[in-house]
Amino acid sequence: MDIEILKEEYSRKMEKALRRGDFALFDNLRRQYDRLLQTREQVTAKTITDTMSKEDKEKCNRILRKIPVLADIAESSAVDLLSLLKKYDGTVTLPMLEELRAFNHIARDLRSIIDRVGDESFAISFGDTCDRVNECIDDIFTTN
């Protein structure tokens, strides 16, 4: 529903409550109205990227692709580490794993936004990209 329509509706209800002298209802409506003013209207990424210059759109696309890849690598690395540690101590836990999973969930949401824009090649190549980036990262740590 349109926020402007909701604002008008709350204003009418608050005015009515004041005329009746129902200050408790007015206070309740006022709190709801204040929360409504704090909400942000969601827009699609495409709405924003359509207004960008070609260079900024390409940069945005690279960044949007990089975030979920890095999140996926971070989570899988944590799972691999936990698995390795459990081989030697079955009771070990890894507190950061839940935080990484939460981060990965957010990244997946971001990726679904990209998928809805219609970049089918990204959806198909995501796993391969993660593997290639992970190999490059491993190579960096192996050679240093």
Q: Which residues of 21-30 are buried (b: 16+ CB within 10 A; e: fewer)?
A: eeeeebeebe
For residues 125-139, average pLDDT? 86
Mean pLDDT, residues 4-32? 89
Q: Which of 11-25, 41-55, 124-138 has the highest mean pLDDT?
A: 11-25
The yes-or-no verdict on residue 119 having pLDDT over 70 is: no
Each residue of 50-101: pLDDT tens digit? 888 989 988 888 887 788 788 888 878 888 888 888 888 888 777 777 777 7
Sequential DSSP letters for 49-110: HTTS-HHHHHHHHHHHHHHHHHHHHHHHHHHHHHHHHHHH-TT---HHHHHHHHHHHHHHHH
- Give the model's pLDDT for residue 51: 87
Phi-psi region of 118 (alpha: psi -120 to 50; beta: other; left: phi over 0): left
For residues 80 and 98, what is the distance between their CA atoms, to the nearest angstrom? 14
CB 74 within 8 A of CB 103: yes
pLDDT at 83: 84
Q: How many CA atoms lie within 13 A of 108 on its CB side?
A: 10
Please tell me the distance from the alpha carbon of residue 33 to that of residue 39, in angstroms, as a whole number: 10
Comparing 24-33, 50-59, 115-124, which segment has the lowest mean pLDDT? 115-124
